[in-house]
Structure 1
Amino acid sequence: MAETVFGIYLIRHEGADPDDDPEDVGITLEGVKVLSGLRNIPLAIVMFFGLVYALNIDYPPDLKYTFEALQKIIMAMEGNRLSKKVQTLKTLLAR
């Protein structure tokens, strides 16, 4: 995790079933654990976007379009301002 720029992690007990509650869900930013004890991945994603917005952090260049699509198409945040690549994806998904 020390080399992770942005990350959401999930820790399960050894031998746990996929349906079992995780031991921990949290967020790392630039290799530092900034939030832990989150109950599930959807909450972690929402908290992640809140942190990125509140801290005014730019998305890593190699993940820019992934995060833009997640933010603007899936979460419907600022959906009227899309880059060309994300607009193309949105059009393809609407078919």
Structure 2
Amino acid sequence: MKQTVMGIYIVQPEGSDAAEELVDIRVVIEGTEVLRSLRNVTVALAMLFGLIYGLNFSYPRELKATSEVIQKVFFNLDGHKLSPKVHALKNKMLE
């Protein structure tokens, strides 16, 4: 986790089955665990994006397009300014 720029971690006890209920979901920013014991991955994703947006962080370069789609298409935050790639994807989704 210490080398993670931004991420969501799902922590399960050793030896648990992947189909079992998730035990602990954590949000990490710049190697620091900022949230833990979240209910599900959806809540963790919303909280991560809330932190990114509220604290005015930049998205990691490798996840820029993915982050833009989640923020602007799914969360409708600043949704009127889309990059050409994201705009094309949005149009295809609406067909």
Aligned twin of 1:31: 31
Aligned twin of 2:70: 70
RMSD: 1.5
1:14-93 pair list within 5 angstroms: 14-93=14-93
Structure-1 separation of matches of 2:74 and 2:20: 26
Structure-2 separation of matches of 1:54 and 1:74: 17
The one-letter code of the counterpart of 2:33 is: K
Tell me the TM-score normalized by structure 1: 0.88
- Secondary structure of residue in 2 paired with 1:73: helix
**Aligned-residue offset at 1:19:** 4.3
The one-letter code of the counterpart of 1:35 is: L
**Aligned-residue offset at 1:37:** 1.0
Uncovered stretches (5+) of structure 2, i.e. residues with no partner: none
Aligned twin of 2:13: 13
**Aligned-residue offset at 1:12:** 1.6
Q: C-alpha offsets along residues 48-79 of structure 1, whole Å, 9 cap, x if unaligned?
A: 01111121101112211110011111222222
Tell me the TM-score normalized by structure 2: 0.88
Structure-2 separation of matches of 1:16 and 1:80: 44
- Secondary structure of residue in 1 paired with 2:22: coil
**Aligned-residue offset at 1:23:** 1.8
How many aligned positions are there? Answer: 95
